[in-house]
Amino acid sequence: MIDVTGLSVVFGQGAAAVHALRGIAFRVAEGESYGLVGESGSGKSTVLRVLSGLLMNWSGEVVIAGRPQVPRRSRAFHKLVQMVFQDPYGSLHPRHTVDRTLAEPVAIHRLGDVDRRIAVALTDVGLDLSFRFRYPHQLSGGQRQRVAIARALILEPRILLLDEPTSALDVSVQAEILNLLMRLRRERNLTFLLVSHNLAVVAHMCDRLSVMREGVIVEELTAATLRAQEPTHPYSRQLFRASTGYDRAAVDRLEAVA
Amino acid sequence: MIDNATPLLTVDDLHVRFATRQGLIHAVRGVGFTVGREKLGIVGESGSGKSMTGRAILRLVPPPGSVTARRIDFSGTDLLGASERDMRQIRGKRISMVMQDPKFSLNPVMTIGRQIAEAYRANSGAPKAQARRRALEMLAAVRIRDPERVYGAYPHELSGGMGQRAMIAMMLIRDPDLLIADEPTSALDVTVQMQVLAIIDDLVAQRGMGLIFISHDLNLVASFCDRVLIMYAGRIVETCRAADLHNAQHPYTRGLLESLPRIDRPATELAVLRRDASWSLDTAEPRP
């Protein structure tokens, strides 16, 4: 479904050039859930920006649903691929009601039947219809993220790009949103590409995952091997240990690696 | 001499209320605890009142907030009755606070070094050269590799981890007795987070400092702190030793723990916390 080879992104020129991605490659099968884990600056969000068409200056090969992609995407592409962003406090227009937020993609793609589509989209994400004419400030963080998911799903895409979808939320709300995403994936056979710094979230959501650092994929793992044993690459092992909690002795070893 | 028997800070029946147009918001409702020379964690979700508790101790609750308590005692000083003048002597010098995001708590138009040196000179009146030397020592103590460079750098020239270390250096240069850290590492990458925690950990152990560590991350608090308070809707619902957090009794604490995804335990569905109205009404005393 997603096939990426030799993807590179460089920001700036000459001595000030920053190599955000240095020739990465991965494949995601249809209906699969794939994770990218890494710390800030590892390039994981840049991958999503390239795939979604938000970033134009990249080189390499990106094939989505059998079609090689060029930097500029068609309208049909955006019906196929949708994205959910990290911060539901920033990704919803503060002066648009939920109704207007959800009606916009329907209008752009001239799908028609707005009323029914909005009602279905809201119900699918577990919001009742009383939310339809509310503004984002009248919603909690979890409800906003549900609206953001509804906005992505209203176009009935086949691929969902998820950029840290729960890192701005409390853990109890995170559990609700992750359950919702898992259910929607099962029901619609969606393909997920999930980006997160939280190894536990990625291991829970994804079948396979890649660990990124400084624009390179350092290791590809399956969630099953991650459960069975520690990763082999020293950097992924570091992330793995850090995710289990604070350990004074581990910090000293960590400094030896870095 | 480190005295472990008498608590550094005693808080009894603390209330924080905000009078708003929508009515009275009771953010903290009768919280009481003591802090000795130890690492005390306060855990809760957003809106649980954990940050307000930290701010109320330093009398930093902004208007229209009002703080009342039966007692807030900091090694013999009554923090509720102290004058603003006295509070200025206490803030920074004896009780320091580290906030969540270095981007908003550092002065953007002043070099890091000047800010740290200023904090040192504020009441000590030390000469500039000495303040500079101390600031450089402090930057080295929080494991900044090139203190000279960071001393002359502006906040925007540093990464988040570096900025947070600089913040900690600034808070610790006055050698406080108590450090209140409000989500000090949640804006940082996990590996940097671990390094920053190790610095705080060592300082608590070496200087016999008290620490109030406010966080939403249960696993982190369980592995880092000595004792944990769990807050819900402005109250402490449970108090336990950090090592025993995973055997917590209160349904809220249990619910939070179970809603976390875990690497070693795959699940198709995560447990969802079911809130019970009685948790916020419950006036039962938390078990010590």
Domain membership of residue B129 as a residue range: 100-175
Whether B12 and B87 map to the same domain: the answer is yes
Position B272 in a domain: no
B239-287 pLDDT, tens digit each:
999 888 888 889 999 888 888 888 877 777 888 887 777 777 645 444 4
Whether B84 and B2 map to the same domain: the answer is yes
- Would you state the pLDDT for residue B286? 46
Global ipTM: 0.79
Position B283 in a domain: no
In total, how many domains does chain B have?
A: 2
CB pairs under 8 A between A and B: 99
A30-74 pLDDT, tens digit each:
999 999 998 888 889 899 999 999 999 999 999 999 999 998 899
Whether B239 and B105 map to the same domain: the answer is no
State the nearest Cα–Cα gap between A236 and chain B, in angstroms.
Answer: 11
Q: Which residues of B touch A174 (CB under 8 A)?
A: 259
How far apart, in whole angstroms, are the C-alpha atoms of residue A105 and residue A88?
17
Position B247 in a domain: yes
- Would you state the pLDDT for residue A160? 95
Position B259 in a domain: no
CB contact (8 A) between residue A226 and residue B262:
no
Q: Which residues of A touch B268 (CB under 8 A)?
A: 182
The DSSP code for B143 is: T
Whether B21 and B77 map to the same domain: the answer is yes
Compute the mean pLDDT over every residue in chain B, rounded to the nearest whole number: 86
State the nearest Cα–Cα gap between B78 and chain A, in angstroms.
Answer: 35
- Would you state the pLDDT for residue A22? 94
A2-257 architecture in CATH? Answer: 3-Layer(aba) Sandwich (3.40)
A167-221 pLDDT, tens digit each:
888 888 899 999 999 999 999 999 999 999 888 899 999 999 999 998 999 999 9
| Site from B22, B103, B189 to mutate, A interface, most A CB atoms within 10 angstroms | B189
- Would you state the pLDDT for residue A235? 87
Question: pLDDT (tens digit, 0 to 9) for every residue of chain B, 288 residues total?
Answer: 445 567 899 999 999 999 888 888 889 999 999 999 899 999 988 888 998 999 999 998 888 889 999 999 998 889 988 898 899 888 888 999 888 777 788 899 999 999 999 888 886 788 889 999 999 988 888 878 888 989 999 988 887 778 888 888 888 888 889 999 988 887 777 877 888 888 888 888 888 899 999 998 888 899 999 999 999 989 999 999 988 888 888 999 988 888 888 887 777 788 888 777 777 764 544 444
In this prediction, what percent of chain A has a pLDDT beyond 90?
68
Q: Which of B46, B189, B272 has the CB atom closest to A175's CB atom?
A: B272
Q: b or e along A41-55 (b: 16 or more beta carbons within 10 Å of the residue's beta carbon)?
A: bbbbbbbbbbbbbeb
Compute the mean pLDDT over every residue in chain A, rounded to the nearest whole number: 90
- Would you state the pLDDT for residue A8? 94
CA dihedral of B205, B211, B215, B219, whole degrees rounded to 10: 30
Provide the strand spans (E) within B93-209. Answer: 95-98, 178-182
One-letter amino acid at A64 equals I
CB contact (8 A) between residue B261 and residue A246:
no
Whether B87 and B217 map to the same domain: the answer is yes
Minimum CA–CA partner of B185 in chain A: A246
Minimum CA–CA partner of A250 in chain B: B194
Whether B82 and B220 map to the same domain: the answer is yes
Position B13 in a domain: yes
Position B168 in a domain: yes
- Would you state the pLDDT for residue A254? 67
Average pLDDT over residues A225-237: 85
CB contact (8 A) between residue A172 and residue B194:
no
Domain boundaries, chain A: 2-257
Whether B79 and B4 map to the same domain: the answer is yes
- Would you state the pLDDT for residue A152? 94
CATH number of the domain residue B39 falls in: 3.40.50.300
Q: Say yes or no: A214 contacts chain B, CB-CB below 8 A.
A: no
For B175, B178, B237, B240, the CA distances from B259, given in Å and listed in that order, are 39, 33, 18, 20
Whether B74 and B114 map to the same domain: the answer is no
Instruction: Give CA B235 to chain center in angstroms.
Output: 17
Average pLDDT over residues A130-142: 92
